[in-house]
Amino acid sequence: MATTTVSTSPKPGSGHGAAGPVAERPSPWRRFRDPSLPILVAVLLGIWALTSRFTAEYTVPTIPSVAQEMWSILTSWESLRNLLTTLARVGVGLAAAFAVGLALGLAMGASSAAARYLLPLIRFVQGIPSLSWVIIAVIWFADVELRVWFVMVLVTLPGFALQTYDSYRAIPAELRDMARSFRPGRWALFREITLPAITPGVFTAWKVNLGLGIRMVLIAELVGATVGVGAQLLSAQQLFDMASVVSWTLLLAVCMLIIQGVVELLESWVLRYRPRVGLPSEASGRAATSVAAPRVEG
């Protein structure tokens, strides 16, 4: 490479000192220092305790009976297996839906012909009620795991596919032109432009689909499954065991919150390049840039 005589002293616009040092991101644990969450939990527990004193056990169970039931679930491998099985079904179903949805979304983004055929189909699938898929799965498949997997994939796949497609389309043309001016290979272009650009959308799809997946897996498990939280809920309903219903529900909800928290932590690490929302850019004091599009300015 040729040498040059250009000096390295500070120059106008090089802005030594113009843009401050990189600010530390706030701790992801800051939410736990917020007193509003314990206050909210305390209020809800208070209302629950009060209500349970004036109602029958099978309507609103007492807090101690639910706590005892939860403890027995967590300390019994047989019970815990139900919870883990349900979570595994969610994980496997979402992973499959993610893989297929990502591929479909990318195909639609890269090819308008693919989008013309696939987009109406995916939107049609998205419009089919979840319960219809459950009934179809029961008729089509004898195997319970296959039923659950089928329902999970069909219900969550449109979210992944459409979010990926939208994120792909939102990639700024300026970035593509910039990349193209260097004559990159396909893989380099995908790795450096497409993949990072669709990542925020993919995280959004995961967060939305996690909640949807948890809700769907219970419905799917209600039909034919002998293991899993759905099966345990059905059993508890038949016995009018409200403490058990609440316990399983709470455990699943807590698991869901933990998984959501892990996904958010992962998201904030992967997308750590993003300026914090609501704060001005460090360099110029102007509003924060969008995630996908670089700011066009001087």
Partner 1 sequence: MSATIIEFDRVNKVFPGHHAVRDLSFGIRRGEIVSIVGVTGCGKSTTFNLILGLFPPTDGTVRVQDHDPHSEFDWFRRRIAVVFQDARLLPWRTAVQNVKVGMKFAGIPKEHWDARARDWLSRLGLAGREDAYPHQLSGGQRQRVSLARAFAVDPEIILCDESFSALDEITATALRAEFVELVRANGKTGVVITHSLGEALTLGERILVMRPPGHLADDVAVPADPSPEELETLRERVLTAMTPEAPDSPGPVENTQKGAV
- Token code pair at residue 46: 């208070």
Q: Decide if residue 182 touches partner 1 (CB under 8 A).
A: yes
Amino acid sitting at position 9: S
Q: Decide if residue 170 touches partner 1 (CB under 8 A).
A: no
Count helices and strands (H / E) in the chain.
11, 0
Give the C-alpha distances (Å, rounded to integers) separating 237 from 54, 135, 197, 225, 240.
21, 21, 46, 15, 5
Among 180, 226, 266, 269, binds partner 1 (CB under 8 A): 180
Stretch of 33-41, 133-141, 254-262, 270-278 lying at the interface with partner 1 (CB under 8 A): 270-278
Q: Decide if residue 4 touches partner 1 (CB under 8 A).
A: yes
Report the interhelical angle of 229-238 vs 195-222 (nearest 10°): 30
Q: Which is nearer to partner 1, 3 or 238 (CB)?
A: 3
How far apart CA 14 and CA 17 sit, in angstroms, is 9
Stretch of 48-56, 112-120, 237-245, 275-283 lying at the interface with partner 1 (CB under 8 A): 275-283
How far apart CA 288 and CA 275 sit, in angstroms, is 6
Least distance to partner 1 from the beta carbon of 176, Å? 10
Stretch of 25-33, 109-117, 193-201, 235-243 lying at the interface with partner 1 (CB under 8 A): 193-201
For the chain, the straight-line distance linking the first and the last C-alpha, in angstroms and rounded, comes to 29
Site for partner 1 in 15-74 (CB under 8 A): 15-16, 18-20, 22
Binding residues vs partner 1 (CB under 8 A):
1-6, 8-16, 18-20, 22, 174-175, 177-185, 188-189, 192-193, 196, 199, 271, 273-275, 281-284, 288-289, 291-298
